[in-house]
Chains A and B, each alone.
Chain A
Amino acid sequence: MKTLVISFLWMGLLLGVSQGPLLSQDAAEILHKMDEVLFAPDDQQSEVRMILTDRGGNERVREASVWQKGADMRLFRFTSPAAEAGIAFLSLPDEVMYLYMPAYGRERRIASHVKNQSFAGTDFSYEDLEAERYTERFSAKLKDQATDRWILELTPLPHLRSDYSKIIAHVHKENHYPIKMESYDRGGQLYKVAEYTFGRQGDYWFTEEIMMTNKRRNHSTRMVFEKVILNSGIGDEVFTVRNLGRF
């Protein structure tokens, strides 16, 4: 069951607004700007394909439909493979999460202990996919910069529990979306690397693809977002227990 508990809070990474270039900023400002880009649209829906590749090059595919509103309401329904089709996950503010499994015909409340678990067998953990604003989870320090990016070191805020000791975030200087995130485990070893590809729809940037590589296991997951619709006016009723079982 735990493997099916989904927290696709990463959807926040889909969103973004083009901002004017900034010449110099402190780390907190940069992180704040990145949040503004990530959470710019009011809502969005998309079809997502997750391609899992093992060290031998073998691929497995997961597909799902995703709805998100704001930074903390998400509904995720698996559509493929058949064994998982119909399973739905609802994430609400304050870490309230529900899982619906058609075979049982009822929703089940899920606690936040699943955060350190793999999301549907992918290389993303629930924590990786959390869409809560970065400024509410991390303190930032400007570590370096290059021609096109700032390099920030993000440290979990003291009151938050995280499986990571730090994240090195590469933030695009012009558009403020994240280019790459390097996550380190509690022992200080590089654990995962996420690389982002962004697209643009009107005034908004959105994530087209995330390539997550697990350095420990030599395994990767490519998330591809298709049929992305922004600001379609998704109602709150979509993100309810009432709607969870309707599939």
Chain B
Amino acid sequence: MKPVKQPPKHPFPFRKPHHGAPVRNRIHQHGLPGTKNRRHDPTVSGSARQHDAPPEKELQRQWVPAITPARQHDTSPGQKQRPCGTLAAWRISLAAIVCLLFSAPAIYAESPLLWRGSVESDQRMMLRDERDWAWNENRLDLTMERRSQQLRVTANVWLRHLGPSVVTSSGDLFDKDRVSPWNLDIRELYLDVPGFLSDKLDMRVGRQRIAWGTADRFNPTDNLNPPDLEDLLDFGRANGSDAISLQWWFNHQNSLQLVHIARFQPANMPLGPFSDLFALEFVLPTLHGDIPISIENKSVNLPPNNLGEGSTLAARFSTFILNTDLSISYVYGRDYLPLPDSIHIEMDQPTGEFHSSARLVYPRHHVIGADMAGSIGRLGIWAEAGVFIPEREMRTEVIVEPFDWHEEMVALKKEAYLKFVLGCDYSFSGGTYANIQYVRGFFHEGGRDGLNDYLILQTERDLLRYHLRIQPLAGGVTVSDWDDPKNHYAWFYSPEITYHGIDNLEISLGGFFSDGKGDHLFAGLKDKHMLRLKITASF
């Protein structure tokens, strides 16, 4: 079977689900020909399928706890895995340091240690097949804070039991971390020095969330923290970055913020039922049709951990003019989602099996952003835009052996592209709140030809003296190809009803439903219908 070169296909317009998407779709977004979403391709060959992970492996990949990260991702050859017990000890030690820091009486003799947090149980069940559990999480969310007049130290940690047992061998039964997976996540750990050196200067140093933008959860200018894609239904979540932030206040309304992030940290991938959404695939064109090949081994080539390659620089000027909040921003950083710079496919001729590998890199880019928020009459309005300028053209070298098929494909052109969000909200006199946003380009999309349009709607209404809140209409819709909308559309719907009739207790029951056609993420979620029960107690 000799592969035949085909002209590059038109970049596939991917519709992104409400909740993120990295590797696989980014290939499409950036117009790399020859790649395809395996799930929706009925032409997939038996030999290609042989590389799919068996069910047990799939389960393991989906739910390996964060405490054993080396098992969760593919590793480069020779890369040594850190024993999970050692890692656990390291994390516990770090937590102990945090506690010591907060208990330092000499610094904060005059201030108490403030604690606040919540305990949350989040259980989700798939509505199809065997009613599999889609998510099992019990989380202690703890924020500690000590402050004096000129210094404040804050930590936010999550201690979680996450997912089912990931036992695949009898030896695993001796590993408590695999029998009962848990993890400790330091979400933020920073110190604030308001009025540092000058009354007009605020400094924040440490792991922190730097949330830029005025739109509601869809923020093209929010590029300083890697997306936390672990739970795709918790869209908008981001990991903290190790940063130093200096903000100079010219007056009460004008400020300039400078940010330096020392080390690059990529986005983490989804767990649970969405774990395979972003798998990388390559579509091999042949005389007998396209053959989608799931890339088995993906090595990740993080940028060098030095000042020049690993760091991010950013600046933002904010002002207030004509009753409107305005800001402009600039970020010199990297895409938090990778692109393949090489794909190597080798066919084992006796068996017809394909072996594949890829190397993923995180391209540099500049982002020039602007956002505003204000009102027209009683209507709240906002707009936010980011112009993304790749530092260089991103090419992917594809080698298929033994057919001597070698080609370089453009994964990301060196041309600027614009993502933006327009939104508004309103509260009706009957008590209903509505929020609608038009989104051009999801966070994972890139390249002029890789952006899509989304309409996101959210409504809320309180009932029974605010004991009950319902979200009857909450979801989004997208059409990825307006020339053929019937076959390239997707929608998702996530209604929710929440009871909070008891102080500090919130019980919510919701669902996630979606459908679509076409080769994009939203459509890929069509079999992922699920029910969700979440109970949160705050203290």
Contacts and interface: CB of A to CB of B under 8 A. Distances in A.
Interface residues of B, number: 43
B378 A82 contact: no
Interface string B502-518: 01101000000000000
Interface stretch (A33-41, A140-148, A173-181, A234-242): A234-242
Contacts of B465: 54, 121, 217, 219
B152, B209, B433, B536: most-surrounded residue (chain A CB, <10 A) = B433
B83 interface: no
A223 to B, nearest CB: 16
A81 B503 contact: yes
B333 interface: no
Interface string B365-392: 0000000011101111110000000000
Contacts of A102: 143
A54 B379 CA distance: 32
A105 B380 contact: no
A161 B378 contact: yes
B503 A3 contact: no
Contacts, number: 92
Contacts of B252: 236-237, 240-242
A81 B425 CA distance: 27
Contacts of B380: 109-111, 113
Given A109-B325, A109-B380, A114 B427 contact: yes
Interface string A222-247: 00000000000000110011100010
Nearest to B240: A105
Contacts of A149: none
Nearest to A219: B465
Nearest to A236: B252
Contacts of A2: 427, 433, 460
Contact of A113 (B118, B427, B469, B500): B427
Given A163-B429, A236-B252, A109 B382 contact: yes
A95, A113, A114, A115: most-surrounded residue (chain B CB, <10 A) = A113
Contacts of B143: 102
A111 B202 contact: no
Contacts of B373: 108-109
B152 to A, nearest CB: 8
A96 B426 contact: no
Interface string B99-118: 00000000000000000101
Interface in A60-110: 60-61, 81-83, 85-86, 94-96, 102, 104-106, 108-110
B427 A104 contact: no
B369 to A, nearest CB: 15
A82 B465 CA distance: 20
A19 interface: no
B462 interface: yes
B375 A111 contact: yes
B211 A109 contact: no
A46 interface: no
A104 B211 contact: yes
B42 interface: no
A180 to B, nearest CB: 23
A60 B503 contact: yes
Interface of B: 116, 118, 143, 152, 192, 194, 202, 209, 211, 214, 249, 252-253, 255, 323, 325, 373-375, 377-382, 425-427, 429, 431, 433, 460, 462, 465-466, 469, 500, 503-504, 506, 536, 538-539
25 contacts: A1-B433, A2-B460, A3-B466, A61-B503, A82-B504, A82-B539, A83-B503, A109-B373, A109-B382, A110-B380, A111-B375, A111-B379, A113-B378, A113-B379, A113-B425, A113-B427, A116-B427, A117-B427, A118-B462, A121-B465, A121-B466, A161-B378, A219-B465, A237-B252, A246-B192
Given A112-B377, A118-B462, 12 more contacts: A1-B433, A54-B465, A82-B504, A83-B536, A104-B211, A109-B214, A112-B375, A113-B380, A118-B431, A217-B465, A237-B252, A246-B152
9 closest Cβ contacts across the A-B interface? A111-B380, A83-B538, A111-B375, A109-B373, A121-B466, A113-B378, A106-B211, A81-B503, A82-B538
Interface of A: 1-3, 54, 60-61, 81-83, 85-86, 94-96, 102, 104-106, 108-118, 121, 161, 163, 217, 219, 236-237, 240-242, 246
